Amino acid sequence: MKMFDVYSIHDISIVTGSGSWVYDAKGDKYLDMYGGHAVISIGHGQRDYVEAVAGQLSRLGFYSNSVVIKQQAELAEALGRVSGLTSEDGEWQLFLCNSGAEANENALKLASFHTGRRKVISVGGAFHGRTSLAVAATDNPAIVAPINETGNVIFTPFNDIAALERAFAAAASEGGAAAVIVEAIQGVAGIMVEEVEFLRAVRRLCDEHGAVYIADEIQCGCGRTGRYFATDWADVQADIYTMAKGIGNGFPMGALAIAPHIKPRKGMLGTTFGGNQLACVAATAVAQVIERDSLMQNAADVGEYLMSELRKIHGIKDVRGRGLMIGCELNPDYESVATKLLFGQRVFVGTASGGRVIRLLPALNVTRDEADVALAAIRKVLTPAC
Ligand SMILES: Cc1ncc(COP(=O)(O)O)c(C=O)c1O
């Protein structure tokens, strides 16, 4: 058997990691400014995390959701604290699954159960994952299979409040919108920051129309922007937050934080692996380390420093983002900057828009010195040889 060939792969095999550094099979060292695609939140090989997962594995690897899993309650408590999710109407609820797409799939389904409606409003440029509902709400026809086309999703342009109002009106004529799903900062689209006014309009219109506000925080959440949820910058609360990537620091996990007014019913949602003991201890360690080590503050500080220095670099047309979710749009002669950074400077970065945007998504405890290493490498690659 061989692998189904779906990825563009760099010919590098990463075998170990420590903090923001990873090492290949030859022992060569790379600075990870990509965080393994926004997944590594507290650093590679973080000690408390490794001890928690290894300790749990040595006691019990898995037992099903048919018994009390105390690690779930511990995670709910740690996530509630670090995210600051509180409400006068009761307690927020946590549902655990295994990936980002699965989190969005469950959120959309839950919104439909809750409202009895089927229409969903999504934003141009959105990426919500590759399962049926998630991919239907994703603005990329190339990854939507015929079987995923339901006709239930209305796309509205990025940051356009008038168009959002029209989308609600269009949904109203067909039974009403069950949900709006929105990334406060779009990652795959090239680090596109929704204006706070747009997110406030989402909140207002969801309230007016009885729709569920789903904040997809899979890439922009988990403290990456300097606040736990990127939506927090708009000072609004969503009804459902979907999480994945950073919450497990590499342990596969997805989660939904669900507002108290959305009521559960037995069997409404379910999963075999979601909320397993190993994932829960991993995510609890992540939440505790973020809080204990003030990593959101570090993300804000180092992110601000990086952005201000990146803005001075010739060859970068636009720098956007918040905290450690940074996009650099390159001038038209941008060709293969990410590849040059990787093979010439040994710095991992992400890309978007076919390489026109480089994405910096490092661990939240990346240091200012490490940021300087990345900046020097970017300057070197972008400075034309004299
Ligand atoms: C905003 C957003 N939502 C959903 C997903 C899907 O997550 P997963 O790949 O874990 O299914 C991603 C993945 O990149 C994402 O960036």
324 and 314 part of one domain? yes
Residue 303: domain span: 14-46+294-382
Question: What pLDDT score does 385 carry?
Answer: 60
Question: Would residue 5 count as lying in a domain?
Answer: no
200 and 253 part of one domain? yes
Which atom of ligand 1 lies at the shortest distance from residue 134's CA?
4
122 and 248 part of one domain? yes
Token pair belonging to 153: 């999703």
Query: Does the CB atom of residue 366 touch ligand 1 within 6 A?
Result: no
Helices 161-172 and 196-209 sit at what angle, rounded to 10 degrees? 20
Q: Which residue has the tokens 């990456």?
A: 224
36 and 97 part of one domain? no
42 and 53 part of one domain? no
What spatial distance separates the first Cα and last Cα of the chain, rounded to whole Å?
50
**Contact of 152 with 135, CB cutoff 8 Å:** no
Q: Show which of 292, 314, 349 is a domain's final residue.
A: 292
Question: Would residue 342 count as lying in a domain?
Answer: yes
Which of 34, 98, 122, 128 to mutate to test ligand 1, by most ligand atoms within 8 A of the CB atom?
A: 128
**Contact of 361 with 37, CB cutoff 8 Å:** yes
284 and 305 part of one domain? no
What's the domain count of the chain?
Answer: 2
Question: Would residue 7 count as lying in a domain?
Answer: no
214 and 129 part of one domain? yes
281 and 192 part of one domain? yes
Q: Show which of 242, 258, 292 is a domain's final residue.
A: 292
Question: Would residue 8 count as lying in a domain?
Answer: no
Query: Does the CB atom of residue 187 touch ligand 1 within 6 A?
Result: yes
pTM of the model: 0.98
The CATH number of residue 262's host domain is 3.40.640.10
39 and 56 part of one domain? no
Question: What pLDDT score does 87 carry?
Answer: 81
Tally Cβ neighbours within 10 Å of residue 203: 19
260 and 332 part of one domain? no
DSSP reduced 3-state for 171:
helix
For the chain (length 386 residues), average pLDDT per consecutive 10?
A: 93 97 97 97 98 98 97 97 89 98 98 98 98 97 94 97 98 97 97 98 98 98 98 98 98 98 96 98 98 98 98 95 97 84 97 93 98 97 75
Query: Does the CB atom of residue 244 touch ligand 1 within 6 A?
Result: yes
212 and 326 part of one domain? no
Question: What pLDDT score does 332 carry?
Answer: 78
Query: Does the CB atom of residue 216 touch ligand 1 within 6 A?
Result: yes
Question: Would residue 195 count as lying in a domain?
Answer: yes
Residue nearest to atom 9 of ligand 1 (CA): 100
128 and 26 part of one domain? no
The CATH number of residue 319's host domain is 3.90.1150.10
